[in-house]
Amino acid sequence: MQNRNKRAGVAARPTRHWLGAAIASALLAAGPAVAQQKISDDVVKIGVLTDMSGAYSDFTGGGAVIAAQMAVEDFARNGQVAGRKIEIVSADHQNKADIGAERARNWFDRDKVDTIVELVTTNVALAVMDVAQQKNRLALVSGSASLAITNERCNANTVHWVYDSYGLASGTAKAVMKEGKKNWYFISADYAAGAAMTKDASQVVTAGGGKVVGVAKHPFPNADFSSFLLSAQASKADVIALANGGQDTITAIKQAAEFGITGSRQSLVPIVLFINDVHALGLKTAQGLTLTEGFYWNRDAKTRAWSRRFFERAKKMPSMAHAGVYSSVLNYLRAVEKTGTDDAAMVMTQLKSADIDDGLFKGRIRADGKFAHDMLLLEVKKPGESTEPWDYYHVRGVIPAADAALPLGESKCKLVAPRAAS
């Protein structure tokens, strides 16, 4: 019996040793993956960094914070994702790149923010994108226009959510060119987004056989457009295009009406215009303007239902930037839930692998970080055509996602070239 036990023990000990070693090896191999499958600091923290008091605050500002809060509430009534608390923080970048970058560094390093959203003003967005890449966090951009965000300045930590200068030009400039308006004069804000909008719209004009007869750059912000408008009027261009945004666009349109440009043979064409701008202008002044947007509150039952909830809090209808903040936060949280982690690389991989359809936007995030979705070609209604407050647009066409985004084969983004071009 004793010999049999010894023999059994000799045989059993290697078996137990082998099993223990195998389990240990498996745990070691899985260790890094297991470590990544968690929520850092036991909280998912989202920072809304936007213009709270400047030229763009009406279509971003406090409404962007409300949109982010609504996304959290719609995602989970208990305010949690993957069993951890969701927290929203916000700040004003004052449309200054250095302030935006410093706030981003402090949020990432000190306050443990996982992702920063909104980021109106291209210079701010580009600065924060760089910080997000350095700190391995995410930047989800809604309010900025420049194509560079997903083109030559792209990075693996950024998504451009709502619109860019290419999509705006593809809609508005092409539509106006089809009306036979061939000669264009640009009044352009002297910053990155103004240059991008001018460049992309000019390419559409020249590709369609038109001509850019002049470009005048104005400072940001600007209160007096008289000299720029008089020069544009004297050029006798078919189109006076405004490559600016926010209060600058509102001011330029109002002053154009004073100079008798509105309603003349020269067409005034804002490259980017938000519904809040139209509200500020009033339909009498804005009627007939052609524009492109990524979202319109009165498009269908789903957009109306969400927008009316937003209105109850914000006391205004949402802009496409507000809708983009909601969509980006909601889909970010879905990706965190799906992966079980707030690790930037894993969340981004999930975002880029899933179709997005949240009731406001429908599409897919491309390799370059561009969220490709349909855009809307709109015309501002005449006062007598509006049937309720904020009912401002005729939807004249839908620009398919494939036409509203720069073809990947033409991209300068290091994440897609040169494979996408082959």
User: In this predicted structure, what is the pLDDT of residue 25?
Assistant: 45
Domain carrying residue 303: 41-163+299-374
Which of 281, 308, 288, 283 is closest to 297 using CA atoms? 308
Q: How far apart are CA 119 and CA 136, in angstroms?
A: 17
Task: Choose the final residue of a domain: 244, 271, 293.
Answer: 293
Assess whether 176 and 289 both reside in one domain: yes
The Cα 59–Cα 278 span in angstroms is 11
Residue 99: predicted pLDDT: 98
260: left (phi over 0), alpha (psi -120 to 50) or beta: left
365 part of a folded domain: yes
Residue 314 within a domain: yes
306 in the same domain as 256:
no
Does residue 317 form part of some domain? yes
Residue 12 within any structural domain of the chain: no
The domain boundary, picked from 232, 259, 293, lies at: 293
148: CATH: 3.40.50.2300
Is 411 among the domain residues? no
- Is 171 in the same domain as 289? yes
The count of C-alpha atoms lying within 13 angstroms of the C-alpha of 414, restricted to the half-sphere facing its C-beta, is 6
- Does the pTM of the predicted model rise above 0.85? yes
Q: How many CB atoms sit inside 10 A of residue 165's CB? A: 29
Same domain, 276 and 313: no
Check whether residue 274 and residue 328 sit in a common domain.
no
Residue 346 and residue 280 in one domain: no
243 vs 269: CA distance, rounded Å: 9
Residues 282 and 307 in one domain: no
Q: For residues 277 and 170, state if they share a domain.
A: yes
My answer on whether 152 and 170 are in the same domain is no
Last residue of a domain, one of 265, 293, 321: 293
Residue 283 lies in a domain: yes
Q: What is the pLDDT of residue 262?
A: 82
Look at residue 393 and tell me if it is in a domain. no
Q: Do 156 and 265 reside in the same domain of the chain?
A: no
Q: How many domains does the chain have?
A: 2
CA distances to 15, 67, 158, 162, 272 from 61, rounded to whole Å, are: 66, 10, 21, 16, 18
Please provide the DSSP assignment of 183-237 as one string: EEEEEEESSHHHHHHHHHHHHHHHHTT-EEEEEEEE-SS-S--HHHHHHHHHTT-
Residue 382, domain member (yes or no): no
Same domain, 281 and 232: yes
- Do both 134 and 57 map to the same domain? yes
pLDDT tens for the chain, 422 residues long, are: 444 443 333 333 433 343 344 434 443 344 434 334 699 999 999 999 999 999 999 999 999 999 999 999 999 999 999 999 999 999 999 999 999 999 999 999 999 999 999 999 999 999 999 999 999 999 999 999 999 999 999 999 999 999 999 999 989 999 999 999 999 999 999 998 899 999 999 999 999 999 999 999 999 999 999 999 999 999 999 999 999 999 999 999 999 999 999 878 999 999 999 999 999 999 999 999 999 999 999 999 999 999 999 999 999 999 999 999 999 999 999 999 999 999 999 999 999 999 999 999 999 999 999 999 999 999 999 999 999 999 999 999 999 999 999 999 999 999 996 654 44
